[in-house]
């Protein structure tokens, strides 16, 4: 799959003679301009699919409610910080806050609709209500919710704030965040309940939940047990360690996918971290998982590696509300798909977020029975500046 920046090139930019064409999506159908209906069409040398079967067809189209069911969503980042003793002691909280602060200019915000939210997690949920820059006398307030069985949003506003309208307030908050929890002695983590609350906060808009944690979820919804038993290594029971130990993470991921919410996991730990269970969230929501075993900010190589990768993640181009559909020659079907997505049907994959580094593969068992086969892959998605694109290839 080519980089997203290459997907916006219209056909009229290709070399050779060309005829302007306008394409509008209406209920997953295409209508061409009157000029094309009069019999004029692109010459073969202007159509990549006519000269090279592996060359994708790139088109710029307008995203309409007929395609995705709603207007293009804004880009939303909700950061879940581990503010427990482990997250503070190894320098994760300070390093992640500093990296976000240094990367604010790199976060995509061309349409000035990008929103940010922040949530601290230990044995309670710590919400942060950030005022707009126009409210000169207002300050960021911390709201603590200890009810993990039925977590709720403490205030209806200022938990997700526009980056362009609250830039100065966000900068002040990120500078003070490490100091707010420097004496925290809590060792527990209710990350499962925090994910549920975060989903409730952004489900109306969709977006990305970014988890930065160095603690195993031990209380609340989605709690996990310590499964690192050296006695099972090399035995038939070892494969069980690669399977999720709590069905919450898959069922919750499917719920997120339906609401166009993607989850990305940055996992740090000097002890056991159940990556097999936690990675289900990015796997079914089009997200990504980073694992840093034994990470500590006091080691320059650890801090620089994470800061570089996290900053690149925040600044990377991304497609939203993407769906992938594959069609093939009669008798040819795809029986397996590999990648981070939710398989809605036998030929439709849903990606709440589609980053530039996403790799998806598929397999057909009947490929060898055909002397000549043809397949077509279509990937419509929306980009943050309220522009939709579609990619077709064969």
Residue 293: is its pLDDT beyond 80? yes
The whole-angstrom separation of Cα 341 and Cα 354 is 9
Within its chain, how far is the Cα of 164 from the centroid? 21
Give the pLDDT of residue 26.
34
Domain 4-61+319-393 class in CATH: mainly beta
The whole-angstrom separation of Cα 307 and Cα 293 is 15
Question: What digits encode the pLDDT tens for the residues 168-188?
Answer: 999 999 999 999 999 999 999
Give the pLDDT of residue 45.
54
Q: Specify whether domain 76-233+242-316 bears CATH 3.40.50.410.
A: yes
Structure tokens at 111: 């349409």
Alpha-carbon distances, residue 290 vs 46, 113, 128, 322 (angstroms): 42, 27, 25, 22
Q: 353 near 320, Cβ under 8 Å? A: yes
Residue entry with tokens 């006695």: 231
Give the pLDDT of residue 138.
84
Helices (H) and strands (E) in the chain, counts: 11, 18
The whole-angstrom separation of Cα 326 and Cα 347 is 6
Question: What digits encode the pLDDT tens for the residues 199-255?
Answer: 999 999 999 999 999 999 999 999 998 887 777 777 877 777 878 888 899 999 999
**Residue predicted with more confidence, 189 or 137:** 189
Which of the listed ranges 149-153, 216-220, 322-326, 374-378 does the model predict with the highest average pLDDT?
216-220
Domain assignments of the chain as residue spans, ordered by start: 4-61+319-393, 76-233+242-316
Alpha-carbon distances, residue 115 vs 78, 161, 364 (angstroms): 8, 5, 41
Residue spans of alpha helices (H) in the chain: 34-37, 48-51, 65-68, 85-89, 92-102, 167-180, 191-202, 248-258, 275-278, 280-285, 300-315
Structure tokens at 380: 């419509």
The whole-angstrom separation of Cα 64 and Cα 70 is 7
Question: What digits encode the pLDDT tens for the residues 10-63?
Answer: 434 444 444 433 333 333 333 444 434 344 455 555 555 545 544 454 554 444
pTM of the predicted protein model? 0.77
The whole-angstrom separation of Cα 109 and Cα 161 is 13
Q: Per-residue pLDDT averaged across 370-394, rounded?
A: 60
């Amino acid at each position: 799959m080519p980089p997203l920046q290459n997907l916006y090139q219209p056909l009229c930019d290709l070399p050779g003679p060309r005829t302007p064409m306008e394409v509008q999506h209406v209920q997953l159908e295409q209508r061409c301009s009157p000029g094309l209906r009069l019999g004029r069409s692109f010459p073969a040398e202007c159509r990549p699919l006519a000269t090279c079967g592996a060359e994708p067809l790139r088109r710029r189209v307008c995203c309409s409610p007929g395609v995705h069911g709603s207007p293009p969503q804004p880009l939303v980042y909700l950061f879940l910080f581990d503010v427990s003793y482990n997250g503070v002691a190894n320098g994760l909280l300070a390093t992640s806050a500093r990296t976000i602060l240094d990367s604010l200019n790199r976060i995509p915000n061309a349409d000035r609709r990008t929103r940010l939210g922040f949530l601290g997690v230990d044995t309670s949920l710590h919400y942060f209500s950030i005022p707009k820059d126009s409210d000169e006398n207002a300050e960021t307030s911390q709201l603590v919710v200890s009810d993990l069985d039925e977590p709720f949003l403490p205030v209806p506003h200022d938990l997700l704030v526009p980056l362009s309208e609250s830039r100065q307030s966000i900068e002040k908050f990120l500078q003070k965040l490490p100091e707010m929890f420097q004496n925290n002695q809590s060792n527990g983590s209710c990350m499962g309940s925090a994910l549920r609350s975060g989903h409730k906060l952004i489900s109306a808009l969709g977006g990305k939940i970014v988890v930065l944690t160095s603690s195993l979820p031990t209380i609340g919804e989605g709690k996990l047990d310590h499964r690192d038993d050296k006695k099972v290594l090399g035995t038939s029971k070892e494969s069980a360690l690669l399977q999720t130990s709590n069905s919450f993470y898959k069922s919750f991921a499917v719920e997120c996918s339906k609401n166009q919410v993607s989850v990305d996991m940055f996992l740090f730990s000097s002890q056991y971290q159940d990556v097999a269970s936690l990675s289900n969230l990015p796997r079914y929501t089009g997200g990504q998982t980073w694992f840093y075993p034994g990470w500590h900010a006091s080691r320059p190589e650890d801090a620089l590696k994470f800061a570089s990768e996290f900053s690149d993640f925040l600044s990377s181009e991304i497609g939203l509300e993407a769906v992938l559909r594959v069609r093939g020659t009669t008798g040819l079907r795809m029986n397996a798909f590999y990648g981070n997505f939710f398989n809605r049907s036998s030929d439709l994959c849903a990606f709440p977020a589609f980053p530039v580094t996403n790799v998806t593969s598929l397999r057909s068992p009947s490929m060898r029975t055909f002397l000549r086969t043809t397949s077509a892959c279509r990937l419509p998605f929306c980009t943050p500046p309220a522009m939709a694109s579609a990619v077709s290839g064969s």
